[in-house]
Structure 1
Amino acid sequence: MKKKILVLLLASLLIFTAVITGTAQDTDDYDKTNAFQDVIFLIKNYYVEDVELDTLLEGAIDGMLNKVDRFSYYMDAEEYEEMQIEYEGHYGGVGIVITTRDNKLTVVSPIKGTPGERAGLRAGDIITAIDGVKTGEISQMKAVDLMRGEPGTDVVLTVERSDMDQELEVKITREDIEVPYVESEMKSENIGYISLAQFVENVGTDIETELNKLKEQGAEGVILDLRNNPGGLLSEAVNVVSNFISEGQVVSIRQRGNIERVLNVNKEFKADTEIPVIVLINKGSASASEIVAGAIKDYGRGKLMGTTTFGKGVVQSVVPLADGSAVSITTARYYTPDGNYIHEKGIKPDIEVELDAEAAQNGEDNQLNKAVDMMKSFIITDEVQRKKAAGE
């Protein structure tokens, strides 16, 4: 009896295979489009459970985008709306920026002052699971969705870290994440400090405002902190640079077909080309942050201090679709003023200073302290040079 059942199953399988492949055998122009249609037919008619057609099509779209590169992805209507909310700087979550690197969900940077930063998450950490859900089995946007939620609720991230043998279980309480994009303060009687968290709309103007405030308070040198800044709007990167450089190319964008677009300094900004500048960078400094750092370095306008940046030298465009969903697709590569393509390489600092992680947990920032000390010598040097030029 068992042998008879086995024979019947094999026969059914052969008939089933013949039905599916029969069309392919009858034509010479069977291609991947035909294969795609056949796969949909197979799943709709023979998969063990019923699957909605929209689910299959969304998966196919997401798969296409993931196939081209790790920065391109699909967002359904809800995910696209969440992305827009995030750019408004207000959402419930843990406060980290992520990407997919080598098919692993990777922390680009924790956002300053958020639960993610306080929990000790670092740039380069690999999130292997979110509340037990393996991240290798879900899309990046789904991972974002799992980490967001009502303020006051908890989420557990399983984290793999390069300098540790075992994975970490990090429990984080979600908060209302409201990002203070630009902050400034005096670090001494003549050294100003500006922190830029992300390149959202109008931060170039905000930098101009804060820079002028600091100079009115006596700042003779300024430290621009781009650590853990994941990037943002390309136009705002140009505007930030335009506060320190008065003319010339900020970045060049090269699109498909070798079409090149050069973005120059925005002349609407009155650049201070004299004040000494130190730019703090680290592995969490990506994209637009690297455009600013690259321009400052290539023009010799200031010194970069910290550690090598993330290395994201490509530009994404978000394209809304008619049903409320959207795609984020890589549309160009960018190059620094000297023609450097920093993708996957990053930008090395002029002065390398590793963060003392243990001291940081106690509120000490050795990188910033080093920048303040070095700025003191820059200001003295600058003053001596000005006196020589004046013949004093």
Structure 2
Amino acid sequence: MTQLILLCRQGFEAETAAEIQDIASQAGCFGYCKTQTDQGYVSFFAEDHQLKQLIEHVNFRQLIFVRQWLICGEAIELDSTDRVSSILQGLEGTPHCGEVELIHADTNEAKELSRLCKSLTGPLAATLRKKNKLSAKRNHKIPRLMIFFIDGQHAHVGYHFTNNACKWPDGILHLKFPKDAPSRSTLKLEEAWHWFIPKRQWGERLSAGMRAVDLGAAPGGWTWQLVKRSMMVDAVDNGPMKGDLMETGQVTHHEEDGFKFSPSKKVHWMVCDMAESPIKVAERMAHWVVNEWCRETVFNLKLPMKKRYQEVRQCLDLIEQKCKDADINVEISAKHLYHDREEITCHVRRLY
């Protein structure tokens, strides 16, 4: 039977399964999941025509815990002496594609496959082009062929549509930690810019001179990102700010409780990475948006140990309802980013 493989963070297989079951049922696609704890992916089984309809009509960007997806059949066995030929034999049912990517799950065991994937990519692509199974040049307008390695002897051969999938083949954006940043949490906000805001809009929506507020700012990882975008920042936290942020002249430190702070004037950005219950954070974020204190906000929701997908849905639905009650039009999105751990990152933007 045809299946949809959904890559996720190791340990979040249950949340990914709950999410795809929910999304699929809403789309009229009825199937079931097979998964295993800590394997870094989930398999969703349904009828072939339903799965194709699902990946064509469900917006990938609305998925929270899914890093990447591909539609495929059962795993094929690979000849360790000629894996390219084994993959060629497993192409039945896949469309003509514009590029090929070899990927694996994000687990310690699967990471050992990285070298194999890199070494096979060139020879496989060349062979596929000779066999007319791949376009002569990389083409992002037609499906992308995906080879998902389970181990060195087994792989799934599948595809997805590049305009409805993650642009990073394995769903991971690798960022380099800036040496002068106060904490590694800075990477969470940097990744959020890449995920939630199209690069062509950075000049407009992340422009120099904007005013921003960072709630729960200490030690300054998220404030650092705002300062690097040449924004003026109100950093709110009872704890101390680290690094050279205060010497830039762009930061005003308010030693206050982030849940009680209100800005003296409207700002473009409010960001928040406070370790509080998800529903409490969601209520405060909605308060900021409804009161027009900010135009856009990026914030993290720290997740409980159980029923994490349900908790996320409750928080996002609360924000949506409060904005609806206030007759405010917003865009709301959320993602379990690569640099997140037991949390998800959310983005809310007022539409005028």
TM-score normalised by the shorter chain: which range applies? under 0.3
- Normalized against structure 1, the TM-score is what? 0.24
Bigger Rg, structure 1 or 2: 1
- Normalized against structure 2, the TM-score is what? 0.26
